[in-house]
Chain A
């Protein structure tokens, strides 16, 4: 498990990170969300040792993260970058070796990834001659080539079209074994909701919410939504609930205990056709908005 413990970072007078603590659990994708400038990239750079923390530390399996361990991590920085004038195969082999693979293993992994990404026939092309989408694929391959023990991806999907996102997600699911914790930041909440198991929400350098997406997004709700053919105004007279809003046949109300909603449903059916009835799910964007307000 990767644990970020009490990370604090100052840039001059500016407190960029304030006691940031969270876990990235193996085999689970942890989404890292927050507004621009919330401190996501700073946190990730500290995890990768590119930036030092003012206070706090990063732990791997309970131990302080050392350079040797970190070398096996995979990292995709927010600012993409590889050698523009280097052939992509040479490039990936180089990064594989830089992360500790021997030359043969690095070459084998490179060929496999290029094949998987559909770039095999472009292996000897120079990076800058590839389209931006393909360059992005090479970039993710550079993060995966050494079979990393943990993955830190800063905005991995930004700039990709939906099909490319799906392709990349497939690749990640295929390449990432259950022992590998994955942390990725994104501002595309819909994507985070679809892909992530866990979520960490950062606001102005502080963790304002964290936990599993299921808990955060659709935790116990007391709000229900009813749509009937006729007018739903009768709900105002029912005891045990508090009506939030009624507009024609559509109503939103809170229940005061668990059993009331069934009684309401029965009553509604007896009055006429019911088109919709159910708990009102909280969208992740609401959680986000609420948390970062």
Chain B
């Protein structure tokens, strides 16, 4: 690649290699990876392999029911604990040695719990008791278990997977908004810091003498966008591996079609903000100034974030068209609702137009303020400045 024609490629390259050697950046990425992996894998572990629940029984019939329940659940859901009699079973339940006890009842069984009964456990035992009982009754009537169950199997199949259950969709919406919010904020601060570092160390004058100031801006925006996207890809990859490893690949069927949309919304929203963050850096003269110069950027992120997390569904629909807010809410909506195609397309068009505007304005401000090393400037002040 000829660096002479594209100095911004060089700037981006430096931005990326510097960051990849930055221990803080690597550390925080590692922590995020860990959190994501834990979030993906741990629930599966708890649900699947949390050890079998012990059920106390007093006779063979009870043991058979518990085994049937365990088989239905996949093999190791419940474990039979033999006790001598009913008082012993009650004692084991009270002491917490067993989760529940299955005792013979007047016409079938009684499930004994301590303070409450897990509904999954109760229904599993209920179903198993009925199966065992019916199979026994069927045998008396001369039917084999296969004959008894013939034609009763029900298989679930979705033609159009999703929308997800309410609680899951809330999590997905918040999660996607959070990913954009955190990434845009983290990398945004990184851009602003990188700009102000160049101002503080005065290297900016050599840079500005060597390449056009706009190229400096493009290079920074490009570099940080590549970094941010790669970080998301790495984390997405890790969660993918986690999902596959824990047999939750069905979630992918729902998520995969929206992933491409997410990238488009992410990149456009991120680039628009990156322009603003760079300006926040160039308005400052020292790191300490960043607190005030990055405030507008933080607001532009925070308000839509809380809106997209807490607003009602109609407000969320509106937010999914508002630039920046759309980056946080539209991908989530597409995952959890049936959104007609024109909606994301329109949202992208609006976002694209806004991004172009913001980036242009940003480039203008950046050019005017980058070499002002005297004191911190305000946005309004910067607008009024002449070109250098």
Contact = CB atoms under 8 A, between A and B. Distances in A.
Interface residues of B, number: 25
B243 to A, nearest CB: 39
A81 B203 CA distance: 4
Given A71-B211, A98-B7, A100-B3, A142 B388 contact: no
A36 B388 CA distance: 21
Contacts of A71: 4, 210-211
A94 B212 CA distance: 16
Given A94-B14, A100-B3, A100-B4, A50 B202 contact: no
Contacts of B18: 86
B10 A98 contact: yes
A149 interface: no
A99 B208 CA distance: 11
B387 interface: yes
A75 B201 contact: no
Contacts of A48: 209
Given A70-B209, A95-B210, A102-B3, A81 B388 contact: no
Given A97-B3, A98-B210, A98-B211, 7 more contacts: A52-B387, A75-B209, A77-B209, A79-B202, A81-B201, A98-B3, A98-B7
Interface string B301-318: 000000000000000000
Interface in A59-112: 67, 70-71, 73, 75, 77, 79-84, 86, 94-95, 97-100, 102
B281 to A, nearest CB: 15
A279 interface: no
A67 B203 CA distance: 19
If over half of B's interface residues share one DSSP class (helix, strand or loop), that class is named, otherwise mixed; here it is helix
A50 B205 contact: yes
Interface string A24-49: 00000000000000000000010011
A164 B18 CA distance: 31
Contacts of B204: 81
Interface in A94-149: 94-95, 97-100, 102, 142
Given A52-B388, A98-B10, A84 B209 contact: no
A75 B388 contact: no
